Homo-oligomer: A and B are copies of this chain.
Amino acid sequence: MNAPQFDIAVIGGGPGGYVAAIRAAQLGMKAVVIEREHLGGICLNWGCIPTKALLRAAELRHSIDEMKDFGITVGEVKIDLGAVVARSRKVAGRLSMGVKHLLKKNKVTVIEARAKLGPKSGDMRHIELDNGSQIAAKHVIVATGARARALPGIAADGTHILTYREAMVPGDLPESLIIIGSGAIGAEFASFYHDMGVKVTLVEAMDRILPVEDTEVSAFVQKTFEKRGISVMTGVKLSKVTTDKNGVSASFDGVDAPLQASRMILAVGITGNVEDLGLDGSAVKLDRGHIVTDGFGRTGEAGIYAIGDVTGPPWLAHKASHEGIICVEAIAGLADVHAIAPGAVPGCTYCRPQVASVGLTEAAALAAGHDVRVGRFPFAGNGKAIALGDDGGFVKTIFDRKTGELLGAHMVGPEVTELIQGYAVARTLEATEAELMATIFPHPTLSEAMHESVLDAYGRAIHF
């Protein structure tokens, strides 16, 4: 056996894996990333990044409709869908090249292959690669991510029934579109395709869209979507889909007539990539398609770790990156490595209106036994939002009545995905209402609504 040896091998080059490998290299470890397809993973190649490029195009398209109010008129508007998609791919390509460059700069070895865990000899774990070669590493981090979940009996065919992957690179625009699932992915596609002129129906099995968000946020987004002309159906479960050359016909439990559309996007969640990794027979535990870990990425098997989407929800790139860093720092034996605290992972949805949140929803705070104080502030009371002509939405903050601890913050409206970090910082520092009130938020900014929401929780809002 003279397989190349590493301190750390990371299987999967997404935002969990490549960040873990870079951090390992910074800490002086010899690291390798094994990636089967694209450096940067789904996030960078088929998720967060290319969708943001698409949504920016949609936002620019929408801004044309706003311009008249600002005294700007334009002649005929033409959208070259091919160019919209091509730009999105180009951005993904640039970033994937960037990751390659970063790994090289940090002296991380990159292997393009599929990897499978092999036996251990001494403290080294063998990894078999599908190019026929082998490597060995003291520590192996599984960062294989996840893939679109299928519904029983309903298969994506890539033509009429799409996953996010095909939905991101449409060759043409369908006349109409049914989107099954109204989490972040479904809501973002609904927003994008509607702005591009497609008749969209967004369908959710739960009783409200964006079901992980605070109920007030869900209600506001649904109202805004409907005002824009997006049809929303909640509390209905897809039972059957048939396709023919004209498109899809979808039947729902308890709904009489099937719904017809040119295409359908399935966005019903994701499932971990745990297969063919050689985990069988190991002490690595699985739970509903995900690898079970402690707060430091450790699995049941010594020397095997897992981070990111393969370990379960929330399926978010920044959670994966942060887990990667924690996992590597713990392996390196650094002092003061802390597992991710509950409610420390913010979530963002980039539909119009944008949604962002961190910590507990009001319902979750009550369910956890907190006596709460709740503050709300509408962007309609915010000068910058009014000046921008984009004053829909609100900020909602939830405090523990006894301790004043900020339990959660929920935002919907302009640029909230960029605003939420202030509350994330506050939560890391265990801020109470007193410090947030004492903070001077600059004027005129949307962020003043964050301040006012806190003030409102204590009956002290100024502009409401």
Q: Which B residues lie within 8 Å of A441 (CB)?
A: 318, 346, 421, 424
Instruction: Give the interface size bracket for A toward B.
Output: 35 or more
Once the chains bind, are B440 and A345 in contact (CB under 8 Å)? yes
Once the chains bind, are B445 and A421 in contact (CB under 8 Å)? yes
Which of A147-155, A269-277, A299-307, A426-434 lies at the interface?
A426-434
The CA-CA distance from A50 to B386 in the complex, in Å, is 10
Once the chains bind, are B72 and A74 in contact (CB under 8 Å)? no
0/1 interface trace, chain A 423-460, chain B, CB 8 Å (1 if under): 01110110100111011111111111010000000011
Which of A63-71, A111-119, A236-244 lies at the interface?
A63-71
Q: Assess whether A177 is interfacial by the CB under 8 Å rule.
A: no
Q: Assess whether A1 is interfacial by the CB under 8 Å rule.
A: no
Q: Which B residues lie within 8 Å of A319 (CB)?
A: 440
Once the chains bind, are B442 and A44 in contact (CB under 8 Å)? no
> Given A23-B462, A70-B87, A72-B79, are A443 and B386 also a contact pair (CB < 8 Å)?
no
Once the chains bind, are A72 and B52 in contact (CB under 8 Å)? no
Once the chains bind, are A98 and B49 in contact (CB under 8 Å)? no
The CA-CA distance from A463 to B387 in the complex, in Å, is 35
0/1 interface trace, chain A 185-200, chain B, CB 8 Å (1 if under): 0000000000000000
> Given A49-B383, A60-B66, A69-B87, are A431 and B440 also a contact pair (CB < 8 Å)?
no
Q: Assess whether A398 is interfacial by the CB under 8 Å rule.
A: no
Q: Assess whether A415 is interfacial by the CB under 8 Å rule.
A: yes
CB distance from A382 to the nearest CB of B (A): 10
Once the chains bind, are A447 and B429 in contact (CB under 8 Å)? no
CB distance from A334 to the nearest CB of B (A): 11
Q: Assess whether A347 is interfacial by the CB under 8 Å rule.
A: yes
The CA-CA distance from A78 to B67 in the complex, in Å, is 10
Once the chains bind, are A79 and B71 in contact (CB under 8 Å)? yes
Q: Assess whether A17 is interfacial by the CB under 8 Å rule.
A: no
0/1 interface trace, chain A 242-272, chain B, CB 8 Å (1 if under): 0000000000000000000000000000000
0/1 interface trace, chain A 382-411, chain B, CB 8 Å (1 if under): 011011110000000000000000000000
Closest B residue to A414 using CB positions:
B418
Once the chains bind, are A463 and B418 in contact (CB under 8 Å)? no
Q: Assess whether A129 is interfacial by the CB under 8 Å rule.
A: no
Once the chains bind, are A442 and B459 in contact (CB under 8 Å)? no
Q: Which B residues lie within 8 Å of A425 (CB)?
A: 422, 425-426, 429, 431, 435-436, 439
Q: Assess whether A83 is interfacial by the CB under 8 Å rule.
A: yes
Once the chains bind, are A57 and B71 in contact (CB under 8 Å)? yes
Q: Assess whether A48 is interfacial by the CB under 8 Å rule.
A: yes
Q: Assess whether A15 is interfacial by the CB under 8 Å rule.
A: yes
Q: Assess whether A144 is interfacial by the CB under 8 Å rule.
A: no
The CA-CA distance from A91 to B94 in the complex, in Å, is 41
The CA-CA distance from A460 to B27 in the complex, in Å, is 9
Q: Assess whether A102 is interfacial by the CB under 8 Å rule.
A: yes
Q: Assess whether A32 is interfacial by the CB under 8 Å rule.
A: no
Q: Assess whether A365 is interfacial by the CB under 8 Å rule.
A: no
Which of A69, A316, A345, A422 is packed against the most chain B CB atoms within 10 Å? A422
The CA-CA distance from A356 to B443 in the complex, in Å, is 11
> Given A48-B383, A76-B74, A386-B91, are A421 and B450 also a contact pair (CB < 8 Å)?
yes
CB distance from A455 to the nearest CB of B (A): 10
Once the chains bind, are A70 and B94 in contact (CB under 8 Å)? no
The CA-CA distance from A20 to B418 in the complex, in Å, is 30
> Given A71-B80, A94-B386, are A418 and B443 also a contact pair (CB < 8 Å)?
no
Instruction: List the 8 shortest-distance A-B pairs measured between CB atoms, nearest first.
Output: A75-B75, A71-B83, A52-B387, A71-B84, A74-B74, A318-B443, A421-B447, A71-B80
22 pairs of residues in contact across A and B, judged by CB atoms under 8 Å: A49-B383, A49-B384, A57-B70, A63-B63, A69-B87, A71-B82, A71-B85, A72-B80, A316-B443, A317-B443, A319-B440, A344-B440, A346-B440, A348-B442, A348-B445, A420-B442, A421-B447, A422-B424, A424-B440, A424-B442, A428-B436, A428-B438
Q: Which residues of A are in contact with B by a Cβ distance under 8 Å?
A: 15, 19, 22-23, 26, 43-44, 48-50, 52-53, 56-57, 60-61, 63-64, 66-67, 69-87, 91, 94-95, 98, 102, 316-319, 321-322, 336, 338, 340, 344-348, 356, 381, 383-384, 386-389, 415, 417-422, 424-426, 428-429, 431, 434-436, 438-448, 450, 459-460, 462-464
